[in-house]
Amino acid sequence: MKRATGGFAREVARRFREDALAMCGLCLVLGLFGVAALADLLANDRPLVAKYGGEIWFPAFSNAPEIRDVDFAAGPLRPGDWVLWPPVPYGPTTYDLARRLEPPTRDHLLGTDDRGRDVLSRLIHGSRVSLSVGFVAVGVAAVAGVAAGAAAGYWAGTVDMVISRAIEIMICFPTFFLILTVLAFLPPSIFWIMLVIGLTGWPGIARLVRGEFLKLKEVDYVVAARATGARSSSVMLKHMLPNAMAPVLVSATFGVAGAILTESALSFLGFGVPPPTPSWGDTLSQSRNYIEFAWWLTLFPGAAIFLTVTAYSLVGEGLRDAIDPRSAPRKWSVVFDPSSLPRPVVRGTDEALASRRSGAPGARP
């Protein structure tokens, strides 16, 4: 009885596969991972493979002195030489001031920005920022949230009171404003962005885990484990945590979407990753200076953000429905997962309301 999660996981995976929309979302997410991982192969101002001076080189990945200063794009090659360019033959920071703010053309499929950099190349490389911010921020939030929630649910009493108050305070906080304030005062860096977004994301997860732990504490196998004298840490980590992880996983998936959205909003306002690192929000914010005509600077990065966020929320929804098939189809929780936001805390009448609320789509079963 220790871990029956193998069967549960398989069951969830089966239900998830039956959900066409969720699978679409998953494919998109995997595709984005591919793009981020292969960004250097997809968009680079150096050829992938080149035959130069009778030898085969990999200029995109090598800094060998013989080819370091060779401009492969410059002129006709010597006989016998050849080059293989990536699909987008521009680096994310390759600029060409003579060709700034060009609308999409055959050369620059998505146009160029105000320094003549290729928008497509910047979007491809910008996916790395979005994905890493999404995952690291949610990782931070999940670790902090699970730790706080588990402690509150397991030890109850004073610990619970302190943590619950902290959760309540964080939830009533104007979060985006807090993130903005903190980042405005810190040196610009992607690590601060990840950390700050993560540290404002823990209360939702903490609340979920606390609820699960409160329930699990009364379950027979946990009581039995404690009765046999198992240490608290072992009961929590081995027996309770694996059974409390399913809702955390769902919440984390929505969290990734939210973190990506927050990061791009921050970049849009000028508090994102420092230049010249390409990010979607940064390209979008450039468009504000050329808002009269530069539609390609607005349309494409925004579409990239939109598609990514939608993909994650589709996966999140699919997971939620797969984990709890009885749950009413309460869909879309991208920007704010209602379950992570304050339910009105009606003190003293919680029980009276519980029956109503459990039927409401806004309530977690």
User: Pick from 2, 106, 326, 356: which binds other proteins (CB under 8 A)?
Assistant: 356
Closer of 57 and 280 to other proteins (Cβ):
280
Interactions with other proteins, residue window 297-336 (CB under 8 A): 298-299, 302, 305-306, 309-310, 313, 328-332, 334-336
d(CA 217, CA 250): 22
> Which residue type does 14 have?
R
User: Pick from 169, 219, 237, 354: which binds other proteins (CB under 8 A)?
Assistant: 169
Non-local CB neighbours of 144 within 8 Å, separated by 6+ positions: 198, 199, 202, 205, 206
User: Pick from 293, 325, 327, 358: which binds other proteins (CB under 8 A)?
Assistant: 293
Say whether residue 192 binds other proteins (CB under 8 A): no
Is-cis flag, bond preceding 276, omega within 30?
yes
Among the residue ranges 134-142, 217-225, 247-255, 357-365, the one whose residues contact other proteins (CB under 8 A): 357-365
Interactions with other proteins, residue window 149-168 (CB under 8 A): 165-166, 168
Among the residue ranges 122-130, 132-140, 170-178, 233-241, the one whose residues contact other proteins (CB under 8 A): 170-178
Q: Give the DSSP H/E element, type plus range, for residue 82.
A: strand 82-84
Phi and psi, residue 289, nearest 5°: -75, -20
User: Pick from 61, 82, 173, 191: which binds other proteins (CB under 8 A)?
Assistant: 173
Say whether residue 217 binds other proteins (CB under 8 A): no
The nearest distance, CB 208 to other proteins, in angstroms, is 16
The nearest distance, CB 308 to other proteins, in angstroms, is 10
- Residue length, the chain? 365
204, 208, 214, 215: CA torsion to nearest 10: 160
Say whether residue 178 binds other proteins (CB under 8 A): yes
8 Å CB contact between 244 and 157:
no
The nearest distance, CB 69 to other proteins, in angstroms, is 40
Give the ranges where 156-240 is alpha helix by DSSP (H): 157-172, 175-185, 190-200, 202-216, 220-227, 232-234
Q: Which residue has the tokens 């984390």?
A: 252
d(CA 227, CA 77): 79
Closer of 252 and 334 to other proteins (Cβ):
334
Non-local CB neighbours of 18 within 8 Å, separated by 6+ positions: none
Write out the residues near other proteins by the rule CB under 8 A.
165-166, 168-169, 172-178, 180-182, 184-186, 261, 264-265, 268-269, 284, 287-288, 291-293, 295, 298-299, 302, 305-306, 309-310, 313, 328-332, 334-336, 338, 341-350, 352-353, 356-357, 359-363
